[in-house]
Structure 1
Amino acid sequence: MAATASTRSSTETADAGERERLRKTLWFAPNETLALSTYAKDLFKNYSGIAEEDIFAHIIQVREKAWNVHPYPCIGSFRFLDFAILESPAYQTVVEKLRSGGKYLDMGCCFAQDLRALAYAGVPSENLYGADLRPTFIQLSYDLFNDKHKLRSTFFHGNVFDLSSFRKVSGDQSDPSLFGELVGKVDIISARSFLHVFGAEDEFRAACQMAQILSSSNGSMIIGRQVGSTKPGLNSISLRKSEPVFRHNVETWKAFWTRVGEETNTQWDVYSRMIDIAPEVKLSVRQAESRDIEDRAWLEFVVTRI
């Protein structure tokens, strides 16, 4: 969701006027449109311990705080309540690896909702890690899920292009070795809505950095979902005005990881598929971006080291 990169400078952070403009688009869905899945209701009730009658107001309050940090589409349209990892073709494999002691890192985690889904599924939370550029989002994630008292996961904030910059969000923030101890030992990286916010070359650089963080063992994985296109190519987006992003399809995504492999001396098995974006999501993006986006689709992927 939120990018972990220095390229998102303070000048790119939306000011109050921009937040209000976007609030008037469908990116900022009216409060009354909030509709929780049965799974989300169960998680907030049984994991977060929030009374069912209070869940709605609780989510609205946290969303408002997060919107003032940065008006990401996933915040305005309640997509931070989608637990997409449950739909990943690698979900069962991920749970088994983590229950057996594997390590999971959610890059650009924002609210880290998939991390909470894994904890709710019985994965030891000390095996789960998150990282984001903005530590405020991580603090808000504790507020959203009401779990700071029990979650034993470790969260970092830092710049994906400088791994020595990562610091713990709470506790000892002075020791860069704390994140360094993870590098090369992570079994699963979640890159959900992460790489697609970068310009084309920065996307490549970030992927190479993730290859460095990931364990060199066969079977270690990078999983996620991001915006793709049935007509791949460069696109300008309002969240990144300085340079265009590249929207991939299945073929260009495979070629992308071939290039990453050549750069990092690694090999990858690349599975990906295109999934239709819900009409209401397309409508909100079209209104915010003021362009035709009929070619847009979700690109879901599982990239496995071999």
Structure 2
Amino acid sequence: MSPLPLDDSLYKEEDMGFIKQETGIYDPDALKDHVLRIQKKAYALHGFPCIRGFRFARTVISQLPAYQQALKVGKERDGAIFLDLGCCCGTDIRKIASDGYPVRNLLASDILKAFWNIGHELFMSTPTSFPVVFLPGDALNPAFLEPSTPFVTPSEIKDLPPPMASLSSLAPLRGHVSVIHISAFFHLFTEEQQHHFARCLAGLLSPLPGSLIFGRHIGHSNAGLKWSLRTGMDDQKMFCHSPESWVELWEGVFPKGSINVEVELKEAPTDAGQMRDWLVWSVSRI
């Protein structure tokens, strides 16, 4: 199915405050021209709804309830690795860097490095001025990301994390990642694949108390196959978790009693403009 055409009316200047701050482009017309130019380049690369709806250019991470906990871990725990999986152009990881998470501990990952490069254009930065490590890879490729049993205690970890710049996959980070952010990701996959990803992320997460995975994605009050992400057509249904099934999923992949899952259902528009229920959630090691 061909992507929908771009629609400039979806652009909202009030959503571009972080872009203004980071680029210094405060003239409304110049800012809009800049964002639209980058949008066209990104949409030509792949017609994702998040590009068409300008999600790639606005921050969502700081609106999540677990954001302050994530920042606290980054500021107080030495060497606390933060992974933004499915980072697209990197707007959210730039936000947490701006708010004080040490840049040296940040790791961004997505399937296409071209989007990360477009992020440098969007924010008028370079790998030198914003030296966050980007690791390209397909999360469905077991050579890049595979399920592993979560560690129960820190004493089980026998090795130090390798330098992030040396990574070619996420496997060496098992048990070493303090914070994982993953938004608008799970609903793109089948129920079985979502369970697979939960097992993968559980294995990466540090067993230290306060380590967390958090994000948001489309959900439903009743778990099951629901609407399409883009059109709502019955022939393109996605699997949506409910708050109850989401808790059950995570409690099934971590050792019993080792995590606290917080989740709520909130109505908000998708990147395609439809109103949907979103799961806003966090999984924290106790």
CA contact (8 A) 1:104 1:186 kept: yes
| Contact 2:53 2:272 (8 Å CA) reproduced | no
**In structure 2, what residue type is equivalent to 1:69?**
L
Whether 1:92 aligns to 2:68 is: yes
For the structure 1 residues 251 and 117, does the alpha-carbon distance in structure 2 shift closer, same or farther, using more than 3 Å as the test?
same
Give 1:236 deviation, angstroms. Answer: 5.9
After superposition, the C-alpha distances for 1:30-56 in whole angstroms (9 at most, x for unaligned) are 214411327x32x32332343534221
Within 5 Å, give how 1:189-228 maps onto structure 2.
Answer: 189-228=180-219
Does the C-alpha gap of structure 1 residues 204 and 80 become closer, same or farther in structure 2, counting only changes over 3 Å?
A: same
Matches within 5 A, 1:180-259: 180-235=171-226, 237=228, 245-259=238-252
CA deviation after TM superposition for structure 1 residue 237, in Å = 3.1
Check the 8 A contact 2:53/2:271 in 1, yes or no. no
Deviation at 1:270, TM superposition (A): 0.7
Question: RMSD of the TM alignment (CA)?
Answer: 2.9
Residue of structure 2 in register with 1:260 after alignment: 253
Once the two structures are TM-superposed, the CA of residue 115 in structure 1 deviates from its matched residue by 0.6
Determine the structure 2 residue equivalent to 1:7.
none
- Aligned-pair identity in percent equals 27
CA change 1:151–1:176 in 2 (3 A) is closer
Deviation readout 1:38-96 (Å, 9 max, x if unpaired) = 7x32x323323435342211111111111112211111111223312211112222112
The answer to whether the Cα contact below 8 Å between 1:183 and 1:214 also exists between their aligned partners in 2 is yes
**What aligned pairs does 1:104-253 form with structure 2 within 5 A after superposition?**
104-148=82-126, 149-162=128-141, 164-165=143-144, 176=167, 179-235=170-226, 237=228, 245-253=238-246
- SS of corresponding position for 1:56: helix
Please tell me whether the aligned partners of residues 137 and 169 of structure 2 are also in contact (alpha carbons under 8 angstroms): no
Please report the TM-score for the alignment, with normalisation by the length of structure 1: 0.76
CA distance in 1, matches of 2:165, 2:243: 42
Paired residues, number? 262
1:268 shift after superposition: 2.4
Once residues 123 and 176 of structure 1 are traced to their aligned partners in structure 2, the CA distance between those partners, rounded to angstroms, is: 21
Asked if the contact 2:183–2:215 (Cα under 8 Å) also holds between the matched residues in 1, the reply is yes
Seen in structure 2, the aligned counterparts of structure 1 residues 145 and 242 have a Cα distance that, compared at 3 Å, is farther
**Cα offset for 1:143?**
1.3
What residue in structure 1 maps to residue 20 of structure 2? 45
Matched, 1:58 2:37: no
Partner of 2:151: none
Unaligned runs of 5+ in 1: 1-13, 167-172, 286-293
Equivalents in 2 of 1:35, 1:299: separation in Å? 24
Query: In structure 1, what is the Cα distance between the partners aligned to 2:200 and 2:248?
Result: 17
Are the aligned partners of 1:195 and 1:207 in contact in 2 as well (CA < 8 Å)?
no
> Is residue 2:273 matched to residue 1:284?
yes
TM-score (norm: length of structure 2): 0.81
Residue 165 of structure 1 aligns to a residue whose secondary structure is: coil
Aligned twin of 1:82: 58
Please give the alpha-carbon distance, in whole angstroms, between the structure 2 residues aligned to 1:243 and 1:276: 21
Does the 8 Å CA contact 2:144/2:171 hold for their aligned counterparts?
Answer: no
Alpha-carbon separation, structure 2, partners of 1:275 and 1:237: 18
1:198 and 1:226 mapped to 2: Cα distance?
11
Given the superposition, is the C-alpha separation of residues 236 and 92 from structure 1 closer, same or farther in structure 2, using an over 3 Å criterion?
A: closer
* Structure 2 Cα separation of the partners of residues 79 and 283 of structure 1: 10
What are the Cα deviations for residues 124-180 of structure 1, in whole angstroms up to 9, with x where unaligned? 2122111101111111111111222311211111122446438xxxxxx99656744
Question: Which runs of 5 or more structure 2 residues have no equivalent in the other structure?
Answer: 146-163
Q: 1:219 to 1:163 in 2, by over 3 A?
A: farther
